[in-house]
Chains A and B, each alone.
Chain A
Amino acid sequence: MTTVPDVATFDPEIYRADFPILSTVLHGRVPLAYLDNAATTQRPRQVIDALVNTYEKHYANVHRGIHWLSDQSTDLYEEARENVRDFLGAETREEIIFTRGTTESINLIARSWGDWQVREGDEILLTEMEHHSNIVPWQQLSQRTGCRIRFLPITDEGEIELSALDTLLTERTKMVSLTAVSNVLGTVNPVEEITRRAHAAGALVTVDAAQAVPHQTVPLREWDADFVVFSGHKMLGPSGIGVLYGRAELLDAMPPFMGGGSMIQRVTLEGYEPADLPAKFEAGTPSIVPAIGLGTAINYLRNIGLEAIQAHEQRLTQRAHEVLAEVGGVQLLGPAQEKKAGIVSFVMDGIHAHDVAQILDRHGIAVRAGHHCAMPLHKRLRVSASTRASFYLYNTLEEVERIGEALHDLKHIFRRE
C-alpha cells in the first residue's frame, strides 16, 4: 500500500476503534477522514466516559464544600493537575495553572505579568509566524502601556531568521513569546537557543506549545522557558481547559489576573488577600470536569507513547508531501518534511483554498482552509489563504492518499486536467 517503511510498528486502526466519531459516514457515502487536528482533535471513548462518570458519580464544586461529593470532585481535579505536572515534567503543582485554553493563558501573562512589568519604550519580541492568540494580547498590552511589539522575521521556507536576534534582542526586550511549532507551517522552532539568548539579554520567554505538547515529549528543562502554555482540546481532551505553566517564583510574584472566588485568602469590605498558588490564578468555579477529562486524555496518550505518535505523524507527513508532489500544481508552505511536525499547508495554483476544502469535503476529508488564525503570516508568505491537513495518532496512510484522489477530482472539476 505504501512506499514508507516501518509502518507496521504503529497501527492506528487499533486506536481508531476508541474514537466513536471516526466511524462517521458523510453525505451518505464517504467515510470521514478527519485531518483538522491542528484546529482541534477528537476524543476517545475513555475521555468521554470519564466526563460522564464524573457528572454521574463524583460531581460537586471543588475546594468548597465540607461534604463527600466535594471531596471527590476536588480529589479528581487535583489529581488531573498532578497528572499534567508529571506529563510536562514540571517540579511542583504550584506551577500548573488551569485556564480555559492557550488563549486565556497568554492573556493571563500579558495582563498579570505585562501590566506589572512592562513600561512605555519596553519591547515584546514575537515572530512573524505567530497565531493571533500570541499577537493580539501583546498588542492590547501595547495599547495599555505604550510598549513596542517587534517581530522576528521568517525566511521564505518558513523558518525563523535567528541572525535577526542580534539586532532585535536588546536591553529593552522584556519578553520573547514564540510558538514551539507553527500551526500553519509545522515548523519546529529552536526554542532552546532562543530562550538561552533571550535570558542572556535579560528577557523572559513564553512558549506557545499548543501544537507541541499533544505530539511530542516537550523538553521543559532544556527549553528553560518562563511560561509554557497549551490547550486540552488539541490533545484528545475537552474544550474549555488549558494550562499555564510558569516558574513558581515568577507566578508567586505576579499579581492575580481575574478576581473572584477561589483566588482569595480572605475578603473584607476594604480589600482582599490573594490565595496561594495555584488557586491565585483560578478565580471562580474552574472547568472542573474538562480538567478531569484532560487528565484522562494524558493517560491515554501516555499508554500509546508520544514517541510512537510522533514517528507515526512523521510518516503521514512524508506521505502527504509525496502525494501532493504527485498531484502537481501545488505549492507547499513551510520547511522540508524532516524539519516540521504533522502539519501540511498548501496552495493550489489558481484555485482558492475554500474551493479546495469544499471538494475535499465531498470526499469526506475535513481540512482547514483560510488563514488559520495567522493573517500576518499569510501576508508575509504573500498568499491570501491556504489549505491545511494536520495529523494525529488515529490518521492513516490511506486517508492521506485520499487527499491525492480528491485533488485530482478538484483539478478535473476546475478543468485543470
Chain B
Amino acid sequence: MSNEEEIYQEHILDHYEDPFHKGHCPCTTHAHEADNPLCGDVVRVELNIGDDGVIQDAYFDGDGCCISQASASMLMEEVQGKRLDDVKSFNAQDMLKLFGARLTPNRQKCCLLSWQVLQSAIYSPVNGSSESREGSQEESS
C-alpha cells in the first residue's frame, strides 16, 4: 500500500491522538456545529474573528472517526491566523489535498465535515458579538 493510499498514516494519527486546538475558543465570535447522522460524526467549530477580518483563533470539538477528527485538527491549524477571504476561497478540493491520503467517496464525507462546519461558522456570529461580527464581515467582503 503506497503512502498516499494509507489513511492511517503517522501524521494523520498524530492529529487524531493529539489534536490542534481541540476544545473551546477563549473568545468565540463565530461558531457552528453539524453532524453526519449516517456515521455519527459530530464537529463544532468556534472562531475568534478579529475586526481586521483575520481568524485570531480557530478551535474545534467533536466526536467521530479518525478521518473526521484528524481532518478537523488539520483544518484548524491551516486557518489559524488566516484572512477570511483566504478561508472562503479554501475549497473542498483544497481540504482533501490538505488531508493528504486518498479517500473513497464515502469517507470524503468524513473529511469534509469540518470544512463544511468552518465555512458555515464564518457566517454564524454568536450571541453578543453579532453586531461587531456582521460589521467585520461587511468590511472584509
Contacts and interface: CB of A to CB of B under 8 A. Distances in A.
A67 interface: no
Given A352-B66, A354-B107, A354-B110, A371 B8 contact: no
A413 B8 contact: yes
Contact of B66 (A355, A370, A384): A355
A385 interface: yes
A355 B13 contact: no
Interface in A342-364: 351-355, 358-359
A414 interface: yes
A283 interface: no
Nearest to B104: A358
Interface residues of A, number: 16
B8 A354 contact: no
B37 interface: yes
B96 interface: no
B50 interface: no
Contacts of A375: 37
Provide the main secondary structure of the chain B interface: mixed
A371 B13 contact: no
Interface residues of B, number: 18
Contact of B64 (A352, A359, A414): A352
A100 interface: no
Contacts of A371: 38, 40
Contacts of A415: 13, 17
B17 A384 contact: no
Contacts of B17: 415
Nearest to A384: B40
B126 interface: no
A352 B37 contact: no
Contact of B39 (A359, A370, A413): A370
Interface string A373-388: 0010010000011000
B34 interface: no
B13 A354 contact: no
18 contacts: A352-B41, A352-B64, A352-B65, A353-B39, A353-B65, A354-B39, A354-B67, A355-B66, A359-B8, A370-B38, A371-B38, A371-B40, A378-B40, A384-B40, A384-B41, A384-B63, A415-B13, A415-B17
